[in-house]
Structure 1
């Protein structure tokens, strides 16, 4: 898959709403501090034919972390019941517009080896603003005959454990990019989830995920993205890049942006600050790595 195939616009999707080989997934999710119910939002307005991909459900049930990547067998069981399977192009979007949860879904499919997955640029808000149709009402579960076979494959981007991030404190073989807002990175703003400590992993650079979006929540150009990475001290070269955030969701915005700019192998530290900020590990504060 090329970068241009990973980001599609509303006109492209509107012309293919009835295509039999495209599966549309609404991955809307909100922070714990946001009172909105993503499933209610889905019932009130969604792209016709979309099914709900719950990033809070497609997780490792054995983990205490909010968004731990599930084992391949768990992932395939979840997505096959949404009609996503081998030979299908998956299009993901969310109601935030900025695409953070949609990009998490995109990254998860790629981590399981499914390359034919794309994000809708600007999400549901731009889809509606551009005059494209929506539907409402409860989602009807697919009958078992409509489930699709999904084959997990190796070779996708890696999930990085905390032990590897700890080792990198001294090895410094990878660049760690923190996608949280600057205030959370500096330790001057509270976390949306319980945290013993505030700040960032020592040496991590700050790449707030919001910086990768235009005012209308569409994604910035590859040239602009490369400039953002370079300015933060994370040039998109052969150096390994690991993204993190609060729970591994907006980290995938960093991974997606890097993909558009030509770096396809960005790993994600799934535990992110939810794990690091509640462990007895080194913590740095302030605006600098």
Structure 2
């Protein structure tokens, strides 16, 4: 059996010593880039490796052109996945420090983009794992590199040009995954321009998640019902990270994989000719 969206802590614990499972700690804080790796060093699931959102799961930032977390180049991503020890036989279990799934969802999306479907997010993250009194350790095992063979699916992506065309054609449901206040142009402390892409609706990535993680798929089936009934769906957020969480929830609910505008708001606003609402 393979896990392709979420895996429950009990299921993950049962496979803790399964040689075909690889646990990847993606803990990260936007406020402190060193926090995640230090948190990993303090305590992580035994055997887990660490993937850094900034250095491993993002590409080079080019001022005035890219988002704050641009997608890594394909060859760089393949090298990272190989280094971590992933090949076609490996079931990947990704997790964050808490149930927020921010960076874990990003790695889930990157693996799916690269053609690897055997990847799931640990429901509830390390916090719930610890609350169940499952083992944690500070011991860091050496990496066991493998050869990752990619099969990239670029149909999962929407470009800024495509988003602009969809606004003009009115044939796409564009969903902003940031918190509601940032969508409304309030309390914008991250990006230099406040607001959202015209025609986008607000569906905050964390609106349907509790401390214990996600609910049953039917909850999210209903949550996104109206949006997917409209046809084409494209998610975006501030820099393409938290929107991956909404993509994950959509697939978990049983909907076809929606597109991600990976550049998102922080890329959109680099061109003053793009409209802002």
Pair 1:200 & 2:199 matched: no
Select 1:228's aligned residue among 211, 217, 223. 223
Q: Judge conservation of contact 2:61–2:69 (CA < 8 Å) in 1.
A: no
Partner of 2:251: 259
1:104-155 residue CA offsets vs partner (Å, 9 max, x unmatched)? 1101100010011011000000000011000015x4542xxx3101111034
- For the residues of structure 1 that align with 2:70 and 2:213, how far apart are their CA atoms? 27
Partner of 1:132: 134
Partner of 1:118: 120
**Secondary structure in structure 2 of the residue aligned to 1:124:** helix
Partner of 1:219: 214
- For the residues of structure 2 that align with 1:50 and 1:224, how far apart are their CA atoms? 30
Q: How does 1:159-198 map to 2 (within 5 A)?
A: 159-192=157-190, 194-195=191-192, 197-198=193-194
- For the residues of structure 1 that align with 2:240 and 2:262, how far apart are their CA atoms? 5
* CA gap 1:30/1:264 in 2 versus in 1, 3 angstroms: farther
Mind listing any 5+ residue stretches in structure 1 that lack a counterpart?
A: 285-289
* CA gap 1:72/1:105 in 2 versus in 1, 3 angstroms: same
Shift of 1:53: 1.1
Mind listing any 5+ residue stretches in structure 2 that lack a counterpart?
A: none
- For the residues of structure 2 that align with 1:210 and 1:178, how far apart are their CA atoms? 12
- For the residues of structure 2 that align with 1:31 and 1:5, how far apart are their CA atoms? 26
Partner of 2:237: 245
**Secondary structure in structure 2 of the residue aligned to 1:212:** coil
Partner of 1:149: 147
Runs of 4+ off more than 6 Å? none
* CA gap 1:278/1:217 in 2 versus in 1, 3 angstroms: farther
- For the residues of structure 2 that align with 1:148 and 1:56, how far apart are their CA atoms? 22
**Secondary structure in structure 2 of the residue aligned to 1:79:** helix
Partner of 1:106: 108
Q: Judge conservation of contact 1:245–1:273 (CA < 8 Å) in 2.
A: yes
TM-score (norm 2): 0.91
- For the residues of structure 1 that align with 2:33 and 2:160, how far apart are their CA atoms? 30
Aligned-residue Cα RMSD (Å) equals 2.0
Partner of 1:287: none
TM-score (norm 1): 0.88
1:205-234 residue CA offsets vs partner (Å, 9 max, x unmatched)? 1000111212x241122221122223xx41
**Secondary structure in structure 2 of the residue aligned to 1:211:** coil
1:73-129 residue CA offsets vs partner (Å, 9 max, x unmatched)? 211101111111121111100003221211111011000100110110000000000
Shift of 1:35: 7.5
